Amino acid sequence: MGAHPRTADAARAKVELANVFARYGSAYQATHRLVPVQYRAIAAIEACRTDALGGHIERCEACAALRFHYHSCRNRHCPKCQTLAKERWLAARQAELLPVPYCHLVFTLPHQLNALAQGNPRALYALLFEAVSATLIEFGANPRWLGGEVAATLVLHSWGQTLSQHLHLHCLIAAGALAPDGHWITARRGFLFPIKALSTVFRGKFVAGLQRLIRSGTLKLAGACAALAEPHAQRHLVNSLYDTDWVVYAKQPFAGPAQVLDYLGRYTHRVAISNNRLVSLDDDAVRFRYKDYAHGNRRKVLALEPAEFIRRFLLHVLPAGFMRIRHYGILANRAKREKLALARMALNHTSAAPSPQPESVEAFWLRVAQLDIHQCPHCKTGRMIVVGPIIAQRARAPPT
């Protein structure tokens, strides 16, 4: 295919995910079968902060300069809509941190489950959470390791650096546990649980759950997974999963709350690809930066045909309403307040941080970027005031 004609200025223009969908989304949808949540994600990202969603017009009180503000789509897969949500979420989590070291674990599914997950994302993702959380709770309750109730936050990621499917859970877990009698059990220094044993138990719990799903007829077995309708194919899959070493990775414990929040900020509200990784766009390829972990974390640029880029991105659109961040143990919602209070008492740290009020957009930008969004960007002295609406060009779809 020939390259799309572009001027030198256009070639240097910043590329955004919305540009990819604006130019190639319709053609892709015409030739590929999508589920409703994927259609909504494409439409939302393409329309985000454009006149399609409406907005308002502002005028400077001093110099009369005009500024046009367009509404955000608020879709959780949109790279332009996660910053404020992330900051508000982090502020809420800060009030829940305990004064102990935290560990970062990563549990990864073997790639031979990718096709099954593509046809059954809700069931496989839920089973991944179930297997990992049950493993951590079991190890925490075992007196050989801790002997109490852990505090864990799990975050689902489904992608690798090249947008390929790479299903894994990031886990942030306190290095200790709350004992049944109310005292705090501190983990051995530099050690939480044995990684090889974690991997074996995680694999056993997941495969057992997968067998239950297959036997119950819960899973859709079509396309590349149609053969799994046969018992011999199911046995072959189970045997191959037991023959595979499942990957559990552990990083060094974090030193304190500041490092914990920095970690959370990097992982919780991340989308499959951010706009700042996109390099260029034409009819031949979407080019984007990635880290090659297999070769010393070298930074490289990958070129994918637009249709393949869209296909890979849509692999990571979550099922509607699916919660990709979940809390377990003493952080589980049903008794979090009481158990956190007990843990702080056991740690002689009874003064919990107050639960913050939701931060306004104005306060957020002033804190994060030292930007007064009401100051005129032209004269730098006047204040911008709303003088009229921008009517949306199309109905706004609900965010997902």
Q: What is the pLDDT of residues 21-68, one digit of tens each?
A: 999 999 999 999 999 999 999 999 999 999 999 999 999 999 999 999
Strand-strand pairing, 66-70 and 325-329 = unpaired
3-class DSSP assignment, residue 11: helix
Q: Specify the range with the lowest mean pLDDT, choosing from 65-79, 161-175, 249-263, 323-337.
A: 249-263
Q: What is the pLDDT of residues 264-316, one digit of tens each?
A: 777 788 899 999 999 999 999 999 999 998 888 899 999 999 999 999 999 99
Distance separating alpha carbons of residues 133 and 136, to the nearest angstrom: 5
Q: What is the pLDDT of residues 348-392, one digit of tens each?
A: 876 555 555 666 666 666 666 677 888 999 999 999 999 999 999
Would you place residue 241 in the very low, low, confident or very high pLDDT band (cuts 50, 70, 90)?
A: very high
- Tokens representing 81 are 């809509």
Which bin fits 132, alpha (ψ -120 to 50), beta or left (φ > 0)?
alpha
> In the 8-state DSSP scheme, what is residue 317?
P
Q: What is the pLDDT of residues 100-109, one digit of tens each?
A: 989 999 999 9
Q: Do residues 11 and 279 lie in contact, with contact meaning Cβ atoms separated by under 8 Å? A: no
Q: Do residues 16 and 275 lie in contact, with contact meaning Cβ atoms separated by under 8 Å? A: yes
> In the 8-state DSSP scheme, what is residue 128?
H
Q: Give the model's pLDDT for residue 305.
A: 98
Percentage of the chain lying above the pLDDT 90 cut: 71
Q: Give the model's pLDDT for residue 355.
A: 54
- Residue with token string 């070493």: 245
Residue 319 CB burial class (10 angstroms; 0-12, 13-18, ≥19): middle
Distance separating alpha carbons of residues 334 and 337, to the nearest angstrom: 8
Task: Tell whether the model's pLDDT for residue 1 goes beyond 70.
Answer: no
Q: Give the model's pLDDT for residue 64.
A: 95
CA nearest neighbour of 137 among 125, 124, 151: 151
CA nearest neighbour of 140 among 197, 71, 84, 193: 193
3-class DSSP assignment, residue 386: strand
Task: Tell whether the model's pLDDT for residue 16 goes beyond 70.
Answer: yes
- Segments making up each domain of the chain, as ranges: 96-272+315-346
